[in-house]
Chains A and B, each alone.
Chain A
Amino acid sequence: MKLFKKMFKQKTTDSISSNSEEQQKIKISLDQNIKYINETLGNSDDLVSRIISVGQENRMEIGIFYIEGLVDTQHINDFILDPLMVRLENIDQQNDLPTVIQKSIVSVAKVQDAHHLDTALSSLFSGQVIILFDGFTKGFTVGLSGGKSRNVTEPSQESVIRGPKEGFTETIRTNTALIRRKINSPNLWVESMNIGTVTETKISLMYINGIVNKKVLKEVKTRLDKIEIDGILESNYIEELIQDKTFSPFPTINNTERPDVVSASLLEGRVAILVDGTPFVLVVPSLFIEFFHAAEDHYQRWDFSTFIRTLRIMSFFITLLAPSLFIAITTFHQEMIPTPLLISLAAQREGVPFPAFIEALMMEITFEILREGGIRMPKSVGQSISIVGTLVIGTAAVEAGFISAAMVIVVSITAIASFTIPAYNMSISIRMIRFIFMGLAASFGLFGITIAFIGLILHLCSLRSFGVPYMSPFGPFNVQDQKDSLFRFPLWGFKTRPRLISQQNRKRMESRYPKPPFDK
């Protein structure tokens, strides 16, 4: 226990932040400023500093700084260099030249005053251009961020047959815009902050004012404020630092790549957390059953969606229980198997040297290895793994006398069932827990499985996602919210928002059961 504490509570005197010096003011001499900038950035190669001089008699030097690749060079030429060098040609020395330039020369929308070099420098990295003047302690930054970024493409994780085909990108501004295009309301609010003392990653909270659960919003903010880390590279950094419980295999924060899913969540009163640099947006609070919902459930007819959801829940149980049930029944409860099947099973197992548990364990682990190999390897060698895979989990393994044919079927159905769960993180947790179930099934049969299942349900019931019980609307049971959990009722039945998610403004629609107009 002490070792454990030691591992996690290392005390270091170093501060995580990289620079704790005082703010450097912009100096009057341009040369000094250039020198400071170059020193601070360590003469970095991608910093472009361009010095131009304007005016007829008293030529004045103007320095323009930007990071190559983060800004749109064409725009700098058109809207900064061109007006400065052409239009200022005839202007005489004035007392307040920077203000004149800012107000009437630079034809760019986003221009901000700068008095401190350090703040100006940090804006340099978010794609701004710094303009400094010789002889003035004042400069300004111009927002011309551009450069290369990935286009909006179809999401790779959550594909749909019917529904919008756009997915988030790595650029946070694009992502917020994608959501704004779906929700055209002034009540859609965005709050931003920078987290990460070195990376200064931009994090945005999005929610609909008036619908959002204020308690959850406040909780999210306080938890985000507590984060002190050097860098945030993916939204999982945030997820792990703000989740309710670390020691649980289950995710309590959902993530999605789809703007429509985020918009639907916002409309239910949730909070979306966008992180710059990743297309995966976090949605809180999230409930257990929501990890089995796909975006398409709302884009197909309700009866079909309900059927598909039921199928997914079945797949959940198959993934979790199929191998362990097989082990339990073949080892402890043979009497449950119909006699002809029992005979054929026994005949298959005749040459197999291992007990059912070892057999299942071997096959399941093999399959996990295959799956991991399939994800990590280069795409060009994909063919080979599928060939090897079919040999390993297939007739060859049976013919070699390693495993029985029935086990192949069980392992395959488990694998396929695990793919039907839409949320990848949920499917991982179930795959892990499956092994505990298998162990208990091998030692205690159905009793062991039931005990493990009770334990699992208890654990799930003890979880909370930002104060909302994870297993609602089943435990605590709520009749109204059954409309969109296990079942998917027709849309006209969605009269209220989920009870525990949005606690204010619960009414959602007025529309009644649709009827043809002539039908009285």
Chain B
Amino acid sequence: MEGFPITSYKINTTQLFVLIFLFEVGSSIVVGIGFDAKQDAWLAILLALIGGILLFTVYALLFYQFPNYVLTEYVELVFGKLIGKLVALVYVMYFLYIAARVLRDFGDLLITTTLSQTPLLVINLIIVLLVMYSCHLGIEVIARAGNIFFIIWIMLAFLFFLFVFVAQLPKVENLQPVLENGWMPVVKAAFPTTLTFPFGELIVFTMIFPFLNRKQALFKTGLIALLFSGLLLTVTMTVILSILGPTLSSSTQFPFLEAISKVSIADIIQRLDPIALVILIIGIYFKIVIFYFCSVYGFEKIWRLKENRRKYLLLISGVSILTLSIVMAEGLTEHLQIGIRIVPLYLHLPLQVFVPILILLIHLVKRTVSKTIQK
């Protein structure tokens, strides 16, 4: 029996908050951010957070200019049909690529930590299947699940802090001296790496904003979510830094796991990295699912496909994301090198910062011009 006809999918402000939060902390907590600044990582993250808020303001302004359109639609309105479609396509591909990157990150993480015997393909396949299922259910269901996972996530994170502090692992000496080499390394760590990942990746939410039921509350909700997740990241990274020390934090691949594996309380609570793994799987799942959903949704908007065709699109993009995640790099080192050297400069920076600002400027200029003509 069918339920009520669902006329329009809507998410409320709490759900938007939760999605932004889980998205922001999702994978950044695994790989660690700002550790290039050594013991001043917290300063770097805070700096990047300020930049992130500015970027978010741009995205929100864009949304308020086109409250009923997603990013891939209003680029067409601003740039014209041909160039607009091209830019939209670039964005959709970009989302797909980032989803595949996060997937790869995650698969590698699992193989190096627990499932050393399992092939990467199988692990990635399972996640892709799960992600395809979630997108088949739609953004509303993902948002509702976000509500529940947010509670679980916060509880687990609380446990992490509790255990770490009970075990007396953090050492203040590891955070000193502050600003040993001046501001330059901090600024270098903040821009562009930490700004673009994770804060700039919020660009993907321009595809989700129109689902919000109370549109005027967008800026406030997003800002609170961004601040909350940014501050939590700062605190977490600082705690990790104070446990591992600056050298180890920046050299190890997954500092969060490294830090939690040091916990040992009364010889009973020890080796908790599998619990940390649960936190990471939840976060990473949300990161992949949001990128993936927005990519599929963008495709749909570009070619104006009907929603009942989504399953084919899901299948095609699911297979491509799986393949991409396997073939994008030979090994973990190459993958991470691409992630550090190429992606932030040539993908993140233009697509997260320059193009959105350009769209906003062109649109504002167009509007003023048309207004003066009318007068």
Q: Which residues of A contact B (CB under 8 A)?
A: 215, 219, 223, 226, 241-246, 329, 332-333, 335-336, 338-339, 444-448, 450-451, 454-455, 457-458, 461-462, 464, 466-467, 469, 471, 474-477
Contacts and interface: CB of A to CB of B under 8 A. Distances in A.
Contacts of B271: 333, 335-336
A445 B116 CA distance: 12
Given A444-B126, A446-B114, A454-B145, A467 B277 contact: no
A244 B14 CA distance: 26
Interface string B114-142: 11001000010011001001100100011
A141 B122 CA distance: 73
A346 B299 CA distance: 54
Nearest to A223: B1
A-B pairs with the 6 shortest C-beta distances?
A475-B144, A475-B147, A461-B144, A467-B4, A335-B271, A477-B147
Contacts of B272: 336
B368 interface: no
Given A446-B274, A446-B277, A461 B114 contact: no
Contacts of B114: 332-333, 445-447
Nearest to B134: A458
A397 to B, nearest CB: 29
Interface of B: 1-4, 12, 14-15, 18, 110, 114-115, 118, 123, 126-127, 130, 133-134, 137, 141-149, 151, 267-268, 270-272, 274, 277-278, 281-282, 285
A267 B79 CA distance: 57
Contacts of A332: 114-115
Contacts of A215: 4
Given A445-B115, A446-B278, 19 more contacts: A226-B1, A244-B1, A244-B2, A245-B1, A338-B267, A339-B267, A446-B277, A447-B114, A448-B126, A451-B130, A455-B130, A457-B145, A458-B137, A461-B141, A471-B144, A471-B147, A474-B147, A475-B146, A477-B15
A246 B1 CA distance: 8
B287 to A, nearest CB: 13
13 contacts: A241-B1, A332-B114, A446-B274, A447-B110, A450-B282, A454-B145, A454-B285, A457-B148, A457-B149, A461-B148, A466-B4, A471-B144, A471-B147
A476 B14 contact: yes
A445 B127 CA distance: 14
Contacts of B281: 447, 450-451, 454
Contacts of A475: 143-148
Given A447-B110, A447-B123, A450-B278, A476 B147 contact: yes
A146 to B, nearest CB: 38
A249 B147 CA distance: 22
Given A242-B1, A243-B1, A244-B1, A458 B142 contact: yes
A454 B282 contact: yes
Majority secondary structure, A binding face: helix
A195 to B, nearest CB: 15
Contact of A474 (B3, B133, B151): B151
Contacts of B141: 458, 461-462
B351 to A, nearest CB: 29
Contacts of B270: 336, 338
Nearest to B270: A338
Given A338-B267, A464-B3, A476-B12, A447 B145 contact: no
Contact of B14 (A329, A338, A447, A477): A477
Contacts of A241: 1
A336 B113 CA distance: 13
A335 B141 CA distance: 36
Nearest to B5: A467
A461 B145 contact: yes
A14 B164 CA distance: 72
A342 to B, nearest CB: 11
A339 B268 CA distance: 9
Nearest to A240: B1
A390 B322 CA distance: 49
Contacts of A467: 3-4
A93 B137 CA distance: 77
Contacts of B2: 244
A447 B116 CA distance: 13
Contacts of A226: 1
Nearest to A333: B274
| From A241, A333, A335, A454, residue with most partner B Cβ within 10 Å | A454
A464 B4 contact: yes
| From A242, A466, A476, residue with most partner B Cβ within 10 Å | A476
B115 A444 contact: yes
A114 to B, nearest CB: 37
B228 to A, nearest CB: 16
Nearest to B151: A474
Contacts of A454: 130, 145, 149, 281-282, 285
Contacts of B149: 454, 457
A411 to B, nearest CB: 22
Contacts of B3: 244-245, 464, 466-467
Contacts of A461: 137, 141, 144-145, 148
B133 A455 contact: yes
Contacts of A448: 126
A475 B110 CA distance: 29
Contacts of A446: 114, 274, 277-278
A475 to B, nearest CB: 3
Nearest to B277: A446
A441 to B, nearest CB: 12
| From B145, B148, B268, B281, residue with most partner A Cβ within 10 Å | B145
A393 to B, nearest CB: 28
Nearest to B15: A476
Contact of B145 (A243, A246, A444, A458): A458
A283 to B, nearest CB: 17
A444 B4 contact: no
A219 B3 CA distance: 9
B127 A451 contact: yes
A357 to B, nearest CB: 15
Given A455-B133, A458-B141, A476-B12, A338 B126 contact: no
A331 to B, nearest CB: 11
Nearest to A226: B1
A469 B4 contact: no
A336 B260 CA distance: 12
Contacts of B148: 457, 461, 471, 474-475
B46 to A, nearest CB: 29
A329 B141 CA distance: 31
Contacts of A477: 14-15, 18, 147
A138 B350 CA distance: 91
